[in-house]
Amino acid sequence: MNLWIRQALTVMKVELKRYILGRRWIGVYLAAYAPVALLLFAAIQMSRRSISISDLSEAYAFFYQTFMLRLAIFFSCALVFSQLFRGEILEKTLHFYMLAPVRREVIAAGKFLAGAVAMSLIFATSTILTNLLIYAPASSGSNFFFEGQGIAYLLRYVFVTVLACVAYGGVFTLTGLRYRNPVIPAIIVGLWEAFYFFLPESLQKLTIMHYLQSLLPLVIDRGPFSVVVDASSGVFSVLVLVGVAVLLVWAAGKVLNRTEVTYSAD
Amino acid sequence: MQSDQLIIFENVSKFYGEVLGVNRVTLAIAPGVTSLVGPNGAGKTTLMNLMTGLLRPTKGTIRVLDIPPSDPERFFRNIGYCSQFDAFPRGLSGYHMVHSMLMLHGLSSGEAEDRTWKVLERVGMTDAAHRRVAGYSKGMRQRIRLALALAHDPRVLVLDEPLNGLDPMARAEVIDLFRKFADSGMHVLISSHIMHEVDIVSDSVIMLSGGYVVAEGEIQGVRHEMEEHPIQILVRCDRPAVIASNVFQQDSVVEVKIHNDGRGLLVSTRNPDRFYDLLNRIVLDNHIAVESVSPADENVHAVYQYLVGSNGTGSL
């Protein structure tokens, strides 16, 4: 295996070992699994009702696009990826990586991969569980999955979840390294992404949310003041999202190249 | 000596904003044990962090074995740095730290495992290897830092206060280890405030004060260049008064003190070579039994005191 890939995987394994069961991620687990618990409770209370599948699909689309994408995944990514390097600086442990014979871009890639793998696993399972649970009370829920579009919808939601973790991960890997206080860029990016549908078409295409939205199975109504823009093609959207992440992680590596270990100044 | 065997600083300055770290440092450090000496704020750690690429110079260039710090893949294969930073990544054991670092060096898992155990044995940490570093004592953390610096067999070993936290037995072992590394052709750079230990092991010394290099080279050479401070020579013998009465025929002898026990004297001279010639004649002519003759102030501590007017203790 190529040395850079082995090094990136080593960094990823170390990072996963350090953080995945740490207290720092409690907020992430809550954001991901609290909706699962709520929907499980609702499913038990409302079992076997004749609810329309299309109503449930719209309800899930609304829940996924407002809560999951804009709040849970976005802010969890902000929390986790911003800390990839900022956390090292605050804990005074960055020098361990900086003394390794590894290209800085490879360190950035390894750390990003750790965050992306962990976040994708956490939110993909949350997406699968919430999606299954929302259809659980409906008497025709199983038909929707076995004979209808249920599985296709579910796979697209999971795919978008993973891409959201990757793209936002790229953004916050860079801002976490570039800014001493990553909260401010997180708020700015958060507002830009949350209200992207009020932006003119050309600016909407500069948001990650536009491309994520383009891949979702259902579009929700944004109200009378939203600017409706045609969805980008699926392949183009995927390329943009992955490309943005790669570019930002590479930029983070370049920033890391210029980073000095002066903990007292941070 | 060729540049691929030297650590070269060319007119290096480092400022933290407006605060001076080190200024106009020009050095060519040859293999062997080199000690960095200076009190708090002298610039020892700054110099080490510059040497290991953790800091970038504000001005000037640094090359270690002809490799610039901007090439981390080659640079850090050749350097091991035992820093003073005492924090460790959470949740990892000593074994895991060393093993992961070796994996980053490109070793296979099996090779890394073998080397990890070897280096942990070398620093006496095999028993606690699988305990989390967070539960280690200060001395154990110091040993793991040493293990991390040594694990990949670097050609340059940079050690910032490496003896801190070690018990006297371990200090002696570690010093012996450094000597062996230097004898095998490695660069070993040590900063330590325990001057007599540094003195025993060092081939050369770099003395820092206020961010400037005030002297560098072999300690004897540095001492001999300080003409304003006469060299002190201690002579233990059976009739010191006879020697004392004879040495004043030499202009270069400026002071003689006879020991209270009547079995020795301390001579201050500006020309030690002439003094040794004279001493030989006096001893032979007067049949004096000499127990020992040794320089009394050719050590790091004395030289630092003369140069900077400080005792040189403490660390950056």
Q: Are residues B277 and B215 in the same domain?
A: no
A74 located within any domain: yes
Which residue of chain A is at minimal alpha-carbon distance from B104? A7
Q: Are residues B147 and B270 in the same domain?
A: no
Judged by CB atoms closer than 8 Å, whether chains meet at B72 and A3 is answered as no
pLDDT band at B313 (very low <50, low <70, confident <90, very high): very low
Instruction: Give the domain CATH number at B80.
Output: 3.40.50.300
B71 located within any domain: yes
Closest CA to A167 of A77, A232, A85: A77
Q: Are residues B8 and B157 in the same domain?
A: yes
Q: What is the mean pLDDT of residues B213-240?
A: 80
Question: What part of B 220-279 touches A (C-beta under 8 Å)?
Answer: none
Q: Which residue has the higher pLDDT, A146 or B104?
A: B104
Residue B224 pLDDT > 70, yes or no?
Answer: no
Q: Are residues B216 and B286 in the same domain?
A: no
Q: Are residues B218 and B234 in the same domain?
A: no
Question: What part of A 91-150 touches B (C-beta under 8 Å)?
Answer: 91-93, 95-96, 98-104
pLDDT recorded at residue B236: 92
B309 located within any domain: no
Residue B314 pLDDT > 60, yes or no?
Answer: no
Q: Which residue has the higher pLDDT, B51 or B229?
A: B51
pLDDT band at B275 (very low <50, low <70, confident <90, very high): confident
Residue B121 pLDDT > 70, yes or no?
Answer: yes
Q: Are residues B102 and B15 in the same domain?
A: yes
B302 located within any domain: no
Which of the listed residues B179, B198, B223 is the one where a domain comes to its end? Answer: B223
Q: Are residues B264 and B202 in the same domain?
A: no
A262 in reach of chain B (CB within 8 A): yes
Question: Which parts of chain A have pLDDT scores under 70?
Answer: 1, 21-22, 47-50, 264-266
- Map residue B186 onto helix, strand or coil: coil
Q: What percent of chain B has pLDDT over 70?
A: 92
H-helix or E-strand spanning residue B163: none
Q: What is the total count of domains within chain B?
A: 2
pLDDT recorded at residue A117: 95
Strand partners, B216: B206
A32 located within any domain: no
Instruction: Give the domain CATH number at B280.
Output: 3.30.70.100
Q: Are residues B125 and B259 in the same domain?
A: no
Q: What is the total count of domains within chain A?
A: 1
Judged by CB atoms closer than 8 Å, whether chains meet at B101 and A96 is answered as yes
pTM score, two decimals? 0.83
ipTM over 0.95: no
B303 located within any domain: no
A31 located within any domain: no
B314 located within any domain: no
Which residue of chain A is at minimal alpha-carbon distance from B148? A96
Q: Which residue has the higher pLDDT, B231 or B227?
A: B231
pLDDT tens string B126-146: 999 999 998 998 888 989 999
Enumerate the residues of chain A whose CB falls inside 8 A of the CB of residue B53.
Answer: 98-99
Most confident range (mean pLDDT) of A80-94, B191-205, B212-226 is A80-94
Residue among B49, B101, B106 minimizing CB distance to A6: B106
pLDDT recorded at residue B225: 65
Q: Which residue has the higher pLDDT, A169 or B275?
A: A169
Q: Are residues B72 and B194 in the same domain?
A: yes
Q: What percent of chain B has pLDDT over 90?
A: 44
User: Rounded to a whole number, what is the distance in Å from the CA of A246 to chain B's nearest CA?
Assistant: 21
Q: Which residue has the higher pLDDT, B211 or B195?
A: B211
A105 located within any domain: yes
| Domain assignment of residue B292, given as a range | 230-296
pLDDT recorded at residue A161: 97
Residue among A11, A18, A260 minimizing CB distance to B56: A260
Judged by CB atoms closer than 8 Å, whether chains meet at B104 and A260 is answered as no
Residue B109 pLDDT > 60, yes or no?
Answer: yes
pLDDT tens string A14-23: 998 887 766 7
Residue B228 pLDDT > 70, yes or no?
Answer: no
**What's the 3-state SS for chain A?**
CCHHHHHHHHHHHHHHHHHCCCHHHHHHHHHHHHHHHHHHHHHHHCCCECCCHHHHHHHHHHHHHHHHHHHHHHHHHHHHHHHHHHHHHHHCCHHHHHCCCCCHHHHHHHHHHHHHHHHHHHHHHHHHHHHHHHHCCECCHHHHHHCCCHHHHHHHHHHHHHHHHHHHHHHHHHHHHHCCCCHHHHHHHHHHHHCHHHCCHHHHCCCHHHHHHHHCCCCCCCCCCCCCCCCCCHHHHHHHHHHHHHHHHHHHHHHHHCCCCCHHHC
Q: Which residue has the higher pLDDT, B221 or B126?
A: B126
User: Rounded to a whole number, what is the distance in Å from the CA of B88 to chain A's nearest CA?
Assistant: 6
Q: Are residues B105 and B180 in the same domain?
A: yes
B207 located within any domain: yes
DSSP letter assigned to residue B134: G
Which of the listed residues B180, B204, B223 is the one where a domain comes to its end? Answer: B223
A82 located within any domain: yes
Q: Are residues B258 and B156 in the same domain?
A: no
| Domain assignment of residue A132, given as a range | 51-259
